[in-house]
Structure 1
Protein backbone atom coordinates (compact mmCIF):
# COMPACT_ATOMS: atom_id res chain seq x y z
CA UNK A 1 0.00 0.00 0.00
CA UNK A 2 1.30 3.42 -0.93
CA UNK A 3 1.62 6.21 1.58
CA UNK A 4 -1.05 8.26 -0.20
CA UNK A 5 -3.53 5.36 -0.06
CA UNK A 6 -2.79 4.99 3.64
CA UNK A 7 -3.56 8.70 4.16
CA UNK A 8 -6.76 8.36 2.13
CA UNK A 9 -7.83 5.43 4.32
CA UNK A 10 -7.12 7.46 7.45
CA UNK A 11 -9.05 10.49 6.17
CA UNK A 12 -12.05 8.56 4.86
CA UNK A 13 -11.98 6.31 7.92
CA UNK A 14 -12.00 9.40 10.14
CA UNK A 15 -15.13 10.67 8.41
CA UNK A 16 -16.71 7.24 8.77
CA UNK A 17 -15.82 7.20 12.48
CA UNK A 18 -17.33 10.66 12.99
CA UNK A 19 -20.50 9.56 11.23
CA UNK A 20 -20.71 6.41 13.36
CA UNK A 21 -20.18 8.54 16.45
CA UNK A 22 -22.97 10.90 15.41
CA UNK A 23 -25.34 7.99 14.81
CA UNK A 24 -24.28 6.49 18.14
CA UNK A 25 -25.13 9.71 19.98
CA UNK A 26 -28.44 9.81 18.12
CA UNK A 27 -29.62 6.21 18.44
CA UNK A 28 -27.80 4.90 21.52
CA UNK A 29 -27.41 8.13 23.48
CA UNK A 30 -30.85 9.37 22.40
CA UNK A 31 -29.54 12.85 21.52
CA UNK A 32 -31.66 13.93 18.57
CA UNK A 33 -29.70 16.00 16.02
CA UNK A 34 -30.71 19.48 15.00
CA UNK A 35 -30.86 20.65 11.41
CA UNK A 36 -27.23 21.90 11.35
CA UNK A 37 -26.05 18.62 12.92
CA UNK A 38 -27.57 16.82 9.96
CA UNK A 39 -25.93 19.25 7.52
CA UNK A 40 -22.52 18.31 8.95
CA UNK A 41 -23.10 14.65 8.12
CA UNK A 42 -23.48 15.05 4.36
CA UNK A 43 -19.87 16.06 3.62
CA UNK A 44 -18.62 13.19 5.80
CA UNK A 45 -20.72 10.76 3.75
CA UNK A 46 -19.28 12.30 0.58
CA UNK A 47 -15.73 11.99 1.98
CA UNK A 48 -16.24 8.28 2.68
CA UNK A 49 -17.49 7.73 -0.89
CA UNK A 50 -14.63 9.80 -2.30
CA UNK A 51 -12.21 7.73 -0.23
CA UNK A 52 -13.48 4.50 -1.76
CA UNK A 53 -13.15 5.96 -5.25
CA UNK A 54 -9.71 7.42 -4.49
CA UNK A 55 -8.43 3.98 -3.46
CA UNK A 56 -9.69 2.52 -6.73
CA UNK A 57 -8.79 5.42 -9.04
CA UNK A 58 -5.31 6.89 -8.58
CA UNK A 59 -4.68 10.60 -8.98
CA UNK A 60 -4.78 13.80 -6.98
CA UNK A 61 -8.24 15.04 -8.00
CA UNK A 62 -10.22 12.79 -5.67
CA UNK A 63 -8.07 13.53 -2.60
CA UNK A 64 -8.57 17.24 -3.27
CA UNK A 65 -12.34 16.62 -3.42
CA UNK A 66 -12.05 14.73 -0.12
CA UNK A 67 -10.26 17.73 1.38
CA UNK A 68 -13.04 19.98 0.11
CA UNK A 69 -15.66 17.77 1.77
CA UNK A 70 -13.72 17.80 5.05
CA UNK A 71 -13.35 21.59 4.89
CA UNK A 72 -17.08 21.94 4.19
CA UNK A 73 -18.12 19.97 7.26
CA UNK A 74 -15.51 21.78 9.33
CA UNK A 75 -16.94 25.14 8.25
CA UNK A 76 -20.50 24.05 9.03
CA UNK A 77 -19.33 22.75 12.41
CA UNK A 78 -17.53 26.00 13.22
CA UNK A 79 -20.59 28.03 12.23
CA UNK A 80 -22.81 25.74 14.31
CA UNK A 81 -20.48 26.04 17.33
CA UNK A 82 -20.67 29.82 17.00
CA UNK A 83 -24.47 29.66 16.97
CA UNK A 84 -24.39 27.48 20.09
CA UNK A 85 -22.12 29.98 21.86
CA UNK A 86 -24.32 32.91 20.83
CA UNK A 87 -21.55 34.54 18.79
CA UNK A 88 -23.91 34.91 15.82
CA UNK A 89 -27.43 33.98 14.83
CA UNK A 90 -28.21 30.69 13.19
CA UNK A 91 -30.92 29.88 10.69
CA UNK A 92 -34.34 30.99 11.93
CA UNK A 93 -35.67 27.52 11.16
CA UNK A 94 -33.68 25.93 13.98
CA UNK A 95 -32.95 28.64 16.56
CA UNK A 96 -35.14 30.67 18.83
CA UNK A 97 -35.93 34.23 17.94
CA UNK A 98 -35.99 37.29 20.17
CA UNK A 99 -39.15 37.70 22.23
CA UNK A 100 -38.80 41.38 23.04
CA UNK A 101 -41.95 43.27 22.15
CA UNK A 102 -43.98 40.22 21.11
CA UNK A 103 -47.64 40.06 21.98
CA UNK A 104 -48.96 36.98 23.77
CA UNK A 105 -50.41 35.68 20.49
CA UNK A 106 -47.13 36.25 18.62
CA UNK A 107 -45.17 34.57 21.41
CA UNK A 108 -47.52 31.57 21.37
CA UNK A 109 -47.18 31.38 17.58
CA UNK A 110 -43.37 31.43 17.90
CA UNK A 111 -43.48 28.70 20.57
CA UNK A 112 -45.75 26.49 18.46
CA UNK A 113 -43.57 26.85 15.36
CA UNK A 114 -40.27 26.32 17.20
CA UNK A 115 -38.17 23.35 16.10
CA UNK A 116 -38.13 20.33 18.39
CA UNK A 117 -34.33 20.32 18.50
CA UNK A 118 -32.82 23.78 18.48
CA UNK A 119 -29.46 24.51 16.86
CA UNK A 120 -28.50 27.03 19.54
CA UNK A 121 -28.59 24.51 22.41
CA UNK A 122 -25.52 22.48 23.39
CA UNK A 123 -26.69 18.95 24.19
CA UNK A 124 -23.18 17.57 24.90
CA UNK A 125 -19.71 18.98 25.35
CA UNK A 126 -16.26 17.79 26.33
CA UNK A 127 -13.30 19.97 27.32
CA UNK A 128 -15.33 23.07 26.52
CA UNK A 129 -16.19 22.04 22.95
CA UNK A 130 -19.59 20.90 21.73
CA UNK A 131 -20.03 18.10 19.21
CA UNK A 132 -20.15 20.75 16.47
CA UNK A 133 -16.90 22.26 17.75
CA UNK A 134 -15.20 18.86 17.85
CA UNK A 135 -16.41 18.16 14.33
CA UNK A 136 -14.88 21.44 13.16
CA UNK A 137 -11.50 20.69 14.75
CA UNK A 138 -11.27 17.02 13.79
CA UNK A 139 -12.46 17.70 10.25
CA UNK A 140 -9.69 20.26 9.80
CA UNK A 141 -7.26 17.48 10.67
CA UNK A 142 -8.96 15.19 8.16
CA UNK A 143 -8.64 17.90 5.51
CA UNK A 144 -4.90 18.03 6.24
CA UNK A 145 -4.71 14.26 5.69
CA UNK A 146 -6.55 14.62 2.38
CA UNK A 147 -4.19 17.40 1.25
CA UNK A 148 -1.17 15.30 2.24
CA UNK A 149 -2.58 12.36 0.29
CA UNK A 150 -3.04 14.56 -2.78
CA UNK A 151 0.52 15.85 -2.46
CA UNK A 152 1.95 12.32 -2.22
CA UNK A 153 -0.11 10.96 -5.12
CA UNK A 154 1.88 10.13 -8.21
Structure 2
Protein backbone atom coordinates (compact mmCIF):
# COMPACT_ATOMS: atom_id res chain seq x y z
CA UNK A 1 0.00 0.00 0.00
CA UNK A 2 1.50 3.33 -1.08
CA UNK A 3 0.64 6.42 0.93
CA UNK A 4 1.37 10.00 -0.01
CA UNK A 5 1.26 13.32 1.75
CA UNK A 6 0.33 16.63 0.15
CA UNK A 7 1.52 19.31 2.61
CA UNK A 8 0.67 22.99 2.61
CA UNK A 9 -0.90 25.87 4.47
CA UNK A 10 -4.08 25.82 2.32
CA UNK A 11 -5.15 29.32 3.41
CA UNK A 12 -7.58 28.88 1.73
CA UNK A 13 -7.76 25.69 -0.30
CA UNK A 14 -8.09 26.50 -4.01
CA UNK A 15 -9.35 24.53 -6.99
CA UNK A 16 -5.69 24.15 -7.98
CA UNK A 17 -5.04 22.35 -4.70
CA UNK A 18 -8.11 20.19 -5.26
CA UNK A 19 -6.88 19.32 -8.75
CA UNK A 20 -3.61 17.96 -7.31
CA UNK A 21 -5.41 16.16 -4.45
CA UNK A 22 -7.91 14.39 -6.71
CA UNK A 23 -5.31 13.39 -9.29
CA UNK A 24 -3.00 12.12 -6.53
CA UNK A 25 -5.87 10.08 -5.06
CA UNK A 26 -6.07 8.19 -8.36
CA UNK A 27 -2.39 7.20 -8.08
CA UNK A 28 -1.97 6.40 -4.38
CA UNK A 29 -3.89 4.14 -2.02
CA UNK A 30 -4.15 6.97 0.52
CA UNK A 31 -3.42 10.69 0.27
CA UNK A 32 -3.00 12.68 3.46
CA UNK A 33 -3.53 16.39 3.06
CA UNK A 34 -1.31 17.74 5.81
CA UNK A 35 -2.19 21.27 6.88
CA UNK A 36 0.86 23.07 8.17
CA UNK A 37 0.65 25.06 11.36
CA UNK A 38 3.23 27.73 10.56
CA UNK A 39 3.72 30.19 13.45
CA UNK A 40 5.52 32.60 11.08
CA UNK A 41 2.37 33.22 9.03
CA UNK A 42 -0.75 35.20 9.83
CA UNK A 43 -3.47 33.12 8.14
CA UNK A 44 -6.96 34.28 7.24
CA UNK A 45 -8.38 30.99 8.53
CA UNK A 46 -7.48 29.17 11.72
CA UNK A 47 -5.94 25.72 11.47
CA UNK A 48 -9.26 24.17 12.46
CA UNK A 49 -11.16 26.19 9.84
CA UNK A 50 -8.71 25.17 7.11
CA UNK A 51 -9.06 21.52 8.05
CA UNK A 52 -12.86 21.75 7.96
CA UNK A 53 -12.85 23.50 4.57
CA UNK A 54 -10.58 20.83 3.10
CA UNK A 55 -12.70 18.03 4.58
CA UNK A 56 -15.78 19.55 3.01
CA UNK A 57 -14.08 20.08 -0.36
CA UNK A 58 -12.71 16.52 -0.49
CA UNK A 59 -15.73 14.70 0.96
CA UNK A 60 -16.29 12.93 -2.37
CA UNK A 61 -12.76 11.46 -2.45
CA UNK A 62 -12.72 8.28 -0.36
CA UNK A 63 -8.98 7.77 0.04
CA UNK A 64 -8.12 11.28 1.28
CA UNK A 65 -7.51 12.10 4.93
CA UNK A 66 -6.91 15.53 6.42
CA UNK A 67 -4.33 15.97 9.18
CA UNK A 68 -2.40 18.84 10.78
CA UNK A 69 1.28 19.05 11.51
CA UNK A 70 4.00 21.41 12.65
CA UNK A 71 7.73 21.06 12.58
CA UNK A 72 9.76 19.23 9.96
CA UNK A 73 7.88 17.48 7.19
CA UNK A 74 10.40 14.60 7.16
CA UNK A 75 9.60 13.88 10.81
CA UNK A 76 5.89 13.82 10.03
CA UNK A 77 6.49 11.53 7.04
CA UNK A 78 8.49 9.10 9.16
CA UNK A 79 5.95 9.15 12.00
CA UNK A 80 3.01 8.44 9.66
CA UNK A 81 4.93 5.89 7.54
CA UNK A 82 4.33 7.85 4.34
CA UNK A 83 6.03 6.75 1.13
CA UNK A 84 5.94 9.92 -0.99
CA UNK A 85 5.65 13.70 -0.60
CA UNK A 86 3.56 15.33 -3.32
CA UNK A 87 4.39 18.89 -4.31
CA UNK A 88 2.17 20.82 -6.70
CA UNK A 89 3.91 23.01 -9.25
CA UNK A 90 2.37 25.95 -11.09
CA UNK A 91 5.42 27.52 -12.67
CA UNK A 92 9.20 27.29 -12.93
CA UNK A 93 9.51 29.56 -9.90
CA UNK A 94 7.64 26.95 -7.82
CA UNK A 95 10.04 24.27 -9.03
CA UNK A 96 13.14 26.13 -7.86
CA UNK A 97 11.85 26.44 -4.30
CA UNK A 98 10.29 22.97 -4.14
CA UNK A 99 13.41 21.36 -5.62
CA UNK A 100 15.51 22.89 -2.83
CA UNK A 101 13.02 21.62 -0.25
CA UNK A 102 13.05 18.13 -1.78
CA UNK A 103 16.83 18.02 -1.65
CA UNK A 104 16.85 19.18 1.97
CA UNK A 105 14.26 16.55 2.89
CA UNK A 106 16.37 13.91 1.13
CA UNK A 107 19.43 15.07 3.09
CA UNK A 108 17.51 14.82 6.36
CA UNK A 109 16.12 11.39 5.48
CA UNK A 110 17.45 9.51 2.46
CA UNK A 111 14.28 7.38 2.31
CA UNK A 112 12.04 10.38 1.59
CA UNK A 113 10.86 10.66 -2.02
CA UNK A 114 9.20 13.71 -3.54
CA UNK A 115 6.85 13.64 -6.51
CA UNK A 116 6.31 16.89 -8.41
CA UNK A 117 2.86 17.20 -9.97
CA UNK A 118 2.00 20.10 -12.22
CA UNK A 119 -1.41 21.63 -11.78
CA UNK A 120 -3.80 21.67 -14.69
CA UNK A 121 -3.05 24.63 -16.95
CA UNK A 122 -6.34 26.33 -16.05
CA UNK A 123 -5.01 26.73 -12.48
CA UNK A 124 -1.37 27.56 -13.25
CA UNK A 125 -1.75 31.20 -12.13
CA UNK A 126 -3.75 30.43 -9.01
CA UNK A 127 -2.50 30.78 -5.44
CA UNK A 128 -4.15 31.25 -2.06
CA UNK A 129 -2.45 34.66 -1.77
CA UNK A 130 -3.88 35.85 -5.08
CA UNK A 131 -7.35 34.59 -4.15
CA UNK A 132 -7.27 36.52 -0.86
CA UNK A 133 -6.02 39.70 -2.51
CA UNK A 134 -8.60 39.62 -5.30
CA UNK A 135 -11.35 38.91 -2.79
CA UNK A 136 -10.30 41.74 -0.45
CA UNK A 137 -10.57 44.20 -3.34
CA UNK A 138 -13.99 42.96 -4.41
CA UNK A 139 -12.95 40.81 -7.37
CA UNK A 140 -14.76 37.64 -8.36
CA UNK A 141 -13.16 34.40 -7.16
CA UNK A 142 -15.95 32.09 -8.34
CA UNK A 143 -14.46 29.00 -9.97
CA UNK A 144 -11.12 29.52 -8.21
CA UNK A 145 -12.09 28.05 -4.83
CA UNK A 146 -14.90 25.80 -3.59
CA UNK A 147 -18.17 27.65 -2.91
CA UNK A 148 -17.85 26.95 0.83
CA UNK A 149 -14.58 28.92 0.85
CA UNK A 150 -16.28 31.94 -0.72
CA UNK A 151 -19.02 31.77 1.94
CA UNK A 152 -16.45 31.57 4.75
CA UNK A 153 -14.37 34.41 3.28
CA UNK A 154 -17.49 36.61 3.13
CA UNK A 155 -18.13 35.93 6.81
CA UNK A 156 -14.51 36.86 7.65
CA UNK A 157 -14.63 40.23 5.94
Comparing both structures, which one devotes a greater share of its residues to strand?
A: 2
Alignment TM-score, normalising by the size of structure 2: 0.29
Which has the bigger relative contact order, CA under 8 A and spacing at least 6?
Answer: 1
Name the larger-Rg structure.
Answer: 1
Alignment TM-score, normalising by the size of structure 1: 0.30
